[in-house]
Amino acid sequence: MRMILERHLDPEHEKSLAMRSIYGICLPWMHSADKVWTRSQLSRLFPQNDISSWRAVWDTYLSNNIYPEVFADLASEYELAIHDAAKRTHTKRSGLDPVERLAQHLMIAYVWGMDQSEKLLESFFRTASGKYRGVAINCAGQNYIAGAKRSEEEQIARLKQLWVARLKGTNDLEELREFGFWVMPYVFDDGWMLETFILTLQRTGGVIDGQHQIVKSLAEVATEHPILCAKAISLMIRCRDNDQLFLGYNDDLPVVFHSIYQTGNEEAELHADRGLDWLIKLGFDNFRHLKTTARREKREHLAGEHHA
């Protein structure tokens, strides 16, 4: 079997790029079956003097899930792929965008602390376009943070470090708006998460993706963090580039405001008032009663406690 595989890697015998692409698809399984042989063939699988043959294997390899040992053995190929990404114009291959998949691979490796992943991700963020940096940020939000637990301390610490670093490292809207998918309760420390989210909104002028999940998340933590939630929701609402129609008819948004007003925190109420006033100016009259209703309920609640 090895002889057959090696023969089809010989460019004098096999010139078909389609045949080479099969090696990329099967690479993790070849590695699992015989690590020593696979490592010995990496220079033939990925010939650096023939970019077309290199891409034929690499692009299909990226369709696989990521495995720590394979990732470590291919670190130099990931580095080459990072530099190659800037040269590619038409990146889709059979429905797969290899630069997008590269971004996802690197982010997943970083989250799980795979060997050399931090260095490679830093290199990627230095050279990739805002679109593909955004893909990486989105990947962490939708594929990890959405199901993460606060007990996964090492992974959460790496993501906190990355969020802070990217706020310092870029003003690019395509990238920063994807941090909306990181706004999940009970993953990070909620106070830290909200403060960092507000910094992100201030950097993007309020533009953010993942608005549906953000509003749900704010509804869950508004009672505990009324000021931060009021600041965040006001920044979102007052941004003309966000989907204001969605926000105006979102079922969770009244819950956010109601929870904020129920706390009786005056600073939080001031920020919430700005957001509500903006919605009312836009014609969402369903929010007019919210402020007075919430405050009346709060007074009634306090009166009931006093009599008790």
What tens digit of pLDDT does each residue of 249-298 get? 778 999 999 999 988 899 999 999 999 999 888 888 878 887 777 667 76
Residue 112 counted as domain residue: no
pLDDT above 60: residue 8: no
The whole-number pLDDT of residue 92 equals: 61
Residue 44 counted as domain residue: no
| Cβ contacts of 160 within 8 Å, gap of 6 or more | 188, 192, 196
107 vs 23, which has greater pLDDT? Answer: 107
Residue 128 near residue 88 (C-beta atoms within 8 A): no
Per-residue model confidence as pLDDT tens digits over 23-55: 899 999 999 999 999 999 999 899 988 999 999
Residue 226 counted as domain residue: yes
Contacts for 186-189 with beta carbons within 8 Å, 24 or more apart?
A: 186/149, 186/150, 187/145, 187/148, 187/149, 187/150, 187/156, 188/150, 188/156, 188/159, 188/160, 189/150
Residue 296 counted as domain residue: yes
Residue 169 counted as domain residue: no
pLDDT above 70: residue 90: no
Residue 176 counted as domain residue: no
The whole-number pLDDT of residue 287 equals: 82
What are the helix (H) ranges across 112-172? 117-127, 130-143, 153-169
Residue 52 counted as domain residue: no
The whole-number pLDDT of residue 76 equals: 96
The total number of structural domains that make up the chain: 1
pLDDT above 70: residue 151: no
Nearest to 167 by CA among 202, 117, 210: 202
Residue 222 counted as domain residue: yes
Quote the pTM value.
0.89
The whole-number pLDDT of residue 134 equals: 97
Domain region containing 237: 210-308
| CB atoms inside a 10 Å sphere around CB 301 | 12
